[in-house]
Amino acid sequence: MMHNIAGKRLGRNTAHRAALRRNFTVSVIKHERVITTMPKAKALRPFVEKIITLARSNDAKTRLHRIRQAAALLQDKDAVKKLFEVIGPRFANRAGGYTRILRMADYRIGDGGTKVVFELVENNVLEQQLKAKEAAEVQDTEAAAKA
């Protein structure tokens, strides 16, 4: 029996789980939207939420300490910078619930695992992708017109 053991193992040893948690959180911070499996998303959601809570506060006295805490956990300078400059202020007035898990209609091909979209709420990732796609189409039509 596993008494007083918190969290899921996810089929990994301790070091691999720590690396998974760190890499997953960095990916969510950088891209604001990640496709993964349901068990992984549910297991890693609390960690992502706690990291975002670190970046929310506007207290100048503890800002450096919170940045160092996040840097120690994430080990990625770009992610920490985006976390404190973009994501933290975005959620400053929100009392939790910074992420959402949306179930996708299809399943993973290899093992049939349930695929989900793990994303930050109030993001504009899809809008940015649509704008980039439209800009690429305009460039293609301009290049074709010149040729």
Residue 116 lies in a domain: yes
Q: Split the chain (147 residues) into runs of 10 and give each run's mean pLDDT.
A: 83 92 96 94 95 91 95 96 94 93 92 94 83 87 82
pLDDT at 53: 94
Is the Cβ–Cβ distance between 51 and 91 less than 8 Å?
Answer: no
From the list 22, 120, 15, the residue with the least C-alpha distance to 71 is 22
In this prediction, residue 128 carries a pLDDT of 83
Does residue 9 lie within any of the structural domains? no
CA dist., res. 116 & res. 133, Å (int): 23
Tokens of 117: 């979209």
Assess if residue 18 is contained within a domain: yes
The residue segments making up the domain with residue 113 are 14-121
Predicted local confidence at residue 146, as pLDDT: 81
Rounded to whole angstroms, how far apart are CA atoms 98 and 32? 11
Q: How many domains does the chain have?
A: 1
- The pTM of the full predicted model, rounded to 2 decimals, is 0.82
